[in-house]
Amino acid sequence: MKKFVFKKDKKHWLRMVEKRNDRRKESKNDKHLSTIGSKSLYANSKKREKVIMPKIVAPRIMLLKVSEYYNQFINFINDFERLCKKANELKFRFELDLSHIKEMYGDACVLFIASVDSMYQLYPNLKIKIRKPIKDITSRYDPHAVFCHLGFYKLFGLEYSADCSSENVVCWRYVTGDLADGQLTEPLMKTLNDMGINTKELYRSCIEGIANAVEHAYIPQIKSSRDVRNKKWWMLLAKLDGKLLLFVYDRGHGIPSTLEYTQDQKILKEIWKKLKQLVSPTKDCLYIKASMLVKETRTELNYRGKGTGDIKSFIDKTEGNLLRIYSSRGTMIYKGESTPSFCYDNSISINGTLLQWSIKLQDTI
């Protein structure tokens, strides 16, 4: 057998090797491989390029009632929804990294579920890779178990399992619905009864108030840059630490946009006087505060007809109860008639309305 001998002219030899490699690269270019998520991407290029799958990372603490965490979380939700829209348009897959979550509270959890559910309603062909939360053995929180218990992963078409026997996990219930398909009160009352909560006391003051708030969230006359055709609501409930915790969220126009459509101008004029406003407020939180004064103002003006449920009246009954309302950029905290309410505007909109009740269980059983 002949031994292979290097040519003496090394420059000539290197040119031959370079030409051979160029021919191989051109052959690969003909494949037009351009799939996001693969290890490499060839698209009209002679060079081999490594492509990293786009990724969005959830914040470590998912919470709304602290301004720092509120801004982090709402920015995350907005970035997630923008990425979903882009992924749908350009047909690529991205990663949703939940591994950094250490603490997750009901207010942020219900909003996160609503966001994911809404994105799949708008873009049913989305392809999202999930990186699960990692359990911290030193913490009482287990976000992965909560997500499994609530059926969150099923929104992605995934079937994950976890130990959901912990009190901080099993206590949570998830309810959702569409105003076009039926009323809010029926599934809510069924869930409360299953939890052993006496709905008789809650019905007029709380449950009917929730139904009215959600019903007024979607008004066709109001123009919006967001897609609000899907008239859904999402709710989380729990019996925890001696209290009933209830969170209900809608992705409607928000109280600051809907109040002047749902209320008589004469009523609003009286409310602006009570709030010492000469004209309509410029702050979202003042619109929320105004919405809390509607029922008593209607009564003062002797309006007839069926009264509506008052979302704050149940809070008045016992010290320690709390109502927190987020709508658009505004936030209001109500602890009863004897305590001054506290309201403020956030820098970012919540893109809808979130009502949160914290009610002592002995008041309802």
Strand 322-327 versus strand 330-334 pairing type: antiparallel
Same domain, 248 and 136: no
Question: What residue type is 186 in one-letter code?
Answer: E
Same domain, 99 and 218: no
Question: Any idea which of 88-92, 111-115, 246-250, 357-361 has the lowest mean pLDDT?
Answer: 357-361
- Residue 235 inside a domain? The answer is yes
Q: What is the average per-residue pLDDT within 48-77?
A: 90
Rounded distance between C-alpha atoms, residue 321 and residue 334, angstroms: 9
Angle formed by the axes of helices 185-194 and 208-215, nearest 10°? 140
What's the pLDDT score for residue 127? 95
What's the pLDDT score for residue 132? 95
Q: Does the pLDDT of residue 204 top 80, yes or no?
A: no
Token representation of residue 102:
């250490």
The residue segments making up the domain with residue 184 are: 172-365
Q: Does the pLDDT of residue 3 top 60, yes or no?
A: no
Instruction: Please check whether residue 254 is in contact with residue 352, taking contact to mean a CB–CB distance below 8 angstroms.
Output: yes
| Boundary residue ending a domain (170, 205, 231) | 170
- Number of structural domains found in the chain: 3
Same domain, 275 and 317: yes
Phi and psi at 305, nearest 5°, equal 110, 175
What's the pLDDT score for residue 98? 97
Give the number of other CB atoms < 10 A from CB of residue 319. 11
Q: What is the average per-residue pLDDT within 210-227?
A: 75
Same domain, 288 and 250: yes
Per-residue confidence band for 36, with pLDDT thresholds at 50, 70 and 90: very low
Same domain, 180 and 35: no
Same domain, 227 and 336: yes
Same domain, 145 and 46: no
- Residue 230 inside a domain? The answer is yes
Same domain, 330 and 186: yes
Q: Does the pLDDT of residue 37 top 80, yes or no?
A: no
Q: Does the pLDDT of residue 160 top 60, yes or no?
A: yes
Q: What are the tens digits of pLDDT across the range 335-348? A: 988 888 899 999 99
What's the pLDDT score for residue 28? 45
Same domain, 90 and 45: no
DSSP code string of 88-155: HHHT--EEEE-TT--EE-HHHHHHHHHHHHHHHHH-TT--EEEEPPPP-TTSS--HHHHHHHHTGGGG
Rounded distance between C-alpha atoms, residue 281 and residue 268, angstroms: 11
Compute the mean pLDDT over every residue in the chain, rounded to the nearest whole number: 82
